[in-house]
Structure formats: structure tokens, C-alpha cells
Amino acid sequence: MVSDVVIKLVDVKKVYRTSSVVTWALKGVNLEVKKGDYIAIMGPSGSGKTTLLNIIGLLDKPTSGKVIIDGRDVSKLSSREISKLRNYKIGFVFQSFNLVNRLTVFENIELPLIPRGLPRPLRTKLVKEALLKAGGDLSWLLKKPNQLSGGQQQRVAIARAIVTNPAILLADEPTGNLDRKSAKQVIQTFTKLNQSGQTIIVVTHDPEVANCCKEILVIRDGKIIGSKSPDLNRCIINTVE
């Protein structure tokens, strides 16, 4: 029987050490995320939100505990296998967009496709489809990111994250640098992606963003201390300006 659990964390701990200081970022996190989940992670600054997302996204390794992505125990994989798993299964959206300003919008979105050796016509088709799915406009393709507004850049970043059709989409404060109108458009895009089957985890400090998800997890001092149901009436998409 095939499991619908796409992410599983078992007693995951993360410790940062310097010569004089030991900092526990995560203190034994257990988590199961199923296909089609749409989860917000909320907590105060320094609670471990970004560390948790980076470990789920295979950008960082836990000090101890198990991380299982799509049924594969990451600790048993080589660096090359981890890179391949991340490229094929996970899309990441950052608060600061992380676009390359010397490249065009097309080239930025295309980047995750390059390692796959796909023919140029197919890459072009996938880039255009991803940009439209992310709520963008094809007229942006030949522009540089710094010629776009913040909201437009974030939609380009979303297109780059979904161009490979990953099973999992992770977003770290995706509306943190945006005005309210742009934030609403980004969350509308996430909601549509989730409705089409995308599994999404969003780290956010904004209750109006968290309330658009299907579940809200609360993290404090490196531990998930509880979960709660969203109040859709307080979702940014549904609130009046």
C-alpha cells in the first residue's frame, strides 16, 4: 500500500555550536505531512521556523533524528542523491525572492530545469506554463527581475519553484516583503496550487496568511507545541481592505 505521507520528521533536533555557545534551534520535532496538505507554521522570532523549513527542504541537515521525504530516509542518501531528490520533489519560495538579476525572468524560471537536460522547446513550454500558473504575465519573460515590482518578482520566484512540478512547495515568509495587494495575490496563487493537489508548507508571522491554510502549527523554543484550525473569515483573501 502506497503511503500518502510525503514528509515525515522523527525526533528531529538541530544544534548550532560555537566555541562558547550551544544553541538548540530544534528540540525534537515530530511531524507528518500528507499529500495535498496546506500547512502554516507560526511562532515568534527565533522559535525555529526557518530552521525547520530548511531541514524539510533539504537545505540543512538535522543534528539527530530522521527526515523522510517521499518514503526515502534522507540520512541514507549521498549528497548527489539529496540534490536530485530536492530538485525533483521540492520547490522553495524565499522571502527575499533570491532571483538572479543578471538573468532574465525566463532564465530565472528555467534554472531548475537545466540539470534535467530537457530540450529547449520543452523548457520554454514549461517556463511559460509555470509563470501563468503563478499569476504572472508572459510580457515579463525578457525583463530582468529588478525591472519588476516586489509582488511581480515573488510570482516569478513561485514560477521557478513550481516549474519542475514538485510534490512539495515550501515558502519562507513569502509575503514578508510585499504590500497587502501583492500579498493577497501570492496567497491566492498558493490556494489555487493547493486546490490542484500541491502540498504546501508556509512559514509566516502574518495571521491573515496563516488563516488561508488548512492547518496552523505553532512552534515555540524549537518544539511544535500545538495545532489549530484556521479562521477562513480572517484569511487575507477574504478580508476587506
Q: Are 35 and 24 in contact (CB under 8 A)?
A: no
Count of domains forming the chain: 1
CATH number of the domain where residue 204 is located: 3.40.50.300
Question: Is 56 among the domain residues?
Answer: yes
Question: Is 1 among the domain residues?
Answer: no
Q: Are 131 and 189 in contact (CB under 8 A)?
A: no
Question: Is 22 among the domain residues?
Answer: no
How confident is the model over 100-135, as pLDDT tens digits?
A: 999 999 999 999 999 888 999 999 999 999 999 988
Please give the residue range of the domain that contains residue 184.
37-64+77-234
Question: Is 154 among the domain residues?
Answer: yes
Question: Is 110 among the domain residues?
Answer: yes
* The amino acid at 123: R
Question: Is 222 among the domain residues?
Answer: yes
- Residue 93 three-state SS: strand
How confident is the model over 20-76, as pLDDT tens digits?
A: 899 999 999 999 999 999 999 999 888 999 999 999 999 999 999 999 998 899 999
What is the Cα–Cα distance from 132 to 155, expressed in whole angstroms?
A: 9
Question: Is 100 among the domain residues?
Answer: yes
Give the residues across from 29 on adjacent strands: 12
Question: Is 20 among the domain residues?
Answer: no
Angle CA(164)–CA(166)–CA(167) in degrees, nearest 5?
A: 160
1 pLDDT more than 60: no
Backbone phi and psi for residue 141, each to the nearest 5 degrees, phi listed first: -55, -35
Predicted TM-score (pTM) of this structure: 0.92
Q: Are 204 and 210 in contact (CB under 8 A)?
A: yes
